[in-house]
Structure formats: C-alpha cells, structure tokens
C-alpha cells in the first residue's frame, strides 16, 4: 500500500491496496491518513454493493440519506447520477454534506462506476489550512461566533434547484432542518481548528446584523476559494474517494454535458460539533 499527499492543503492518494481485504493494521493506517489529510482517493477498486457497505461499516454506523435516490435493493447506498440528457448535476457548488444536521455526518465514501471521457472532476478544499492562513484579527473576530445551517432551499418542495434535479431527489417533506454550529470548529478526533461554514448550507451568522453576516461569510468564502487550499480529483472508474465533512468542502464540476456520470455514495454518521 502506497499513501502519497495529493496537495499541501488537502487529500492523499492511496494505491496498491484492496479495501475488501484490509488487515486491521492496514485499515488503521488508512484511518490515520483520513484524519491527517481530510480526504482519500483510493485507486483501482472493484466493489460489489455488499463490499462497499462492508467497508463503510468499518468506519461507523451508516447514515441513510433522506434526499437521494437509493440504489435498488440497497438503502445504504445513495445514487449520484447525471444522465446524458440532464443539464444539472448533484453537488455542483461548494458545500459540506449534512452541515444542516444537529450531528453532521462524519464523512462520505463515494465509489465511481461510470465516469465521462472528459470532465466530471471534483474539487476539495481543506478547512484547517484555510483557517491557519487567516490573519490574527480575523481569527479573533470569528473565534466565538456560531452559524446557522439549513437545507430547505436545496431539498425542500419550493426549491428551484430541487425542481431542476427532479426525481434524483426524494422526500421533499423531510427537508427543513436547521442546526447551529461554531464558525471555527475544533475537530472531534484530531483537535485541529478549522472553518465550518459553507456556501451550500450556511444561512447566517447567529446574532449578527444580516448585512454584516453576509459580508463576513463572503469574506471567508473568498478566502477559502483560493487555489492554494484546493485539490482537484480527476476520477477514473474504480476510484473510491472519501472525505471528512468536518474538515473539507467539495464541489462536483458540471462540465460533461451529453455524458453519463454514475457513482454510489455511503455516508457515515457523525457526532455533535463544538
């Protein structure tokens, strides 16, 4: 097994390993790499749905996704799909999965089944690196702030995005959750400090004038948007990617019109954040 850093701010690539045959020692090394790098890109896997689920369960309890279509016969597996005739993709903007939950998902494990001949990459951003690069004045300003997150504008019945995505999303009546989390998160496993706001689901800074809240969030988003905090993953069929929702953003690029892109995702339960 070979583990190599993908970029300075985020990610590691793992090669020469079969995740269906991991010893406890190898799994511990992969788990440590996940905590160290925030995202993992494991090449050349051949997984059945059952093997995908078994690998996910080594990480923790599975969080059954409320809003994605499930793979037939496997409620644990959410389908991330865009057909050749569909214009809008899933995840086509910077976001952090499940930040609208009181106990946001720990992470996701995404397996690539069908990748377009060109395009369809996913961008990742490292929140610890972005936080560390802030000036001291900004760090002090945001140190005790909290932000409210929500999902109705994405998954709710009145969401324009949801209507455009169509039947790939389900259960509009279950949208509407909100949750309050620190703007600066102390990672529950590593203790690292990182930013925990995102353009996809963060609604506002709590107890702040709305205009000031928007300006501060945009300032943080512009900062995180710098290339130096990013890694661009170029998918191949058989790739297994996983990311730590407590330490990353991601963005699925929608630049492959006329081609099919199909991946299977399993999400792992997390804990309340402080």
232 part of the active site: no
Of 168, 231, 246, 265, the catalytic one is: 265
What count of other Cβ atoms lies within 10 Å of the Cβ of residue 155? 25
With tokens 């706001």, the residue in question is: 197
Query: Residue 272 phi/psi, 5° resolution?
Result: -60, 145
250 part of the active site: yes
Alpha carbon 182 to its chain's center: 18
Distance CA(232)–CA(125), nearest Å, equals: 9
Q: What is the secondary structure of 130-184 as a DSSP string?
A: HHHTS-HHHHHHHTT-EEEEE-HHHHSTT-HHHHHHGGGB--GGG---EEEEESE
162 part of the active site: no
Of 52, 168, 250, 261, the catalytic one is: 250
| Bridge partner residues of 34 (DSSP) | none
| Bridge partner residues of 266 (DSSP) | 109
Helices and strands (H and E) in the chain: how many? 7, 17
Alpha carbon 99 to its chain's center: 10
Alpha carbon 161 to its chain's center: 18
Strands (E), 16-66: 39-42, 62-63
168 part of the active site: no
Alpha carbon 82 to its chain's center: 18
Of 63, 71, 97, 261, the catalytic one is: 97
Of 37, 52, 71, 95, the catalytic one is: 95
Closest CA to 185 of 150, 145, 215: 145
Collapsing DSSP states into helix, strand and coil, what is residue 77? strand
Distance CA(270)–CA(66), nearest Å, equals: 15
Name the residues annotated as catalytic. 95, 97, 250, 265
């Amino acid at each position: 097994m070979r583990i190599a850093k993908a970029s300075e701010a985020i990610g590691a690539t793992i090669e020469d390993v079969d995740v269906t045959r991991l010893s406890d020692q190898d799994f511990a090394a992969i788990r440590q790499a996940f905590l160290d790098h925030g995202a993992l890109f494991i090449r050349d896997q051949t997984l059945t749905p059952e093997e995908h689920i078994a690998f996910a369960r080594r990480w923790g309890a599975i969080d059954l996704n409320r809003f994605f279509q499930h793979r037939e016969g496997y409620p644990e597996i959410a389908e991330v799909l865009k057909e050749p005739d569909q214009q809008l993709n899933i995840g086509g903007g910077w976001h952090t999965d499940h930040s609208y939950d009181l106990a946001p998902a720990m992470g996701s494990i995404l397996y690539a089944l069908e990748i377009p001949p060109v395009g369809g990459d996913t961008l990742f951003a490292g929140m610890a690196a972005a936080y560390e690069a802030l000036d001291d004045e900004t760090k002090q300003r945001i140190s005790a702030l909290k932000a409210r997150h929500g999902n109705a504008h994405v998954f709710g019945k009145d969401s324009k995005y949801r209507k455009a995505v169509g039947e790939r999303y389900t259960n509009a009546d279950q949208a509407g959750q909100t949750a309050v989390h620190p703007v600066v998160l102390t990672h529950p496993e590593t203790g690292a400090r990182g930013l925990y706001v995102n353009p996809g689901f963060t609604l506002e800074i709590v107890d702040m004038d709305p205009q000031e809240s928007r300006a501060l969030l945009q300032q943080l988003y512009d900062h995180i948007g710098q290339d130096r905090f990013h890694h661009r993953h170029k998918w191949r069929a058989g790739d297994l990617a996983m990311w730590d929702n407590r330490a990353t953003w991601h963005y699925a690029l929608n630049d492959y019109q006329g081609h099919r892109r199909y991946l299977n995702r399993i999400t792992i339960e997390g804990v309340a954040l402080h």
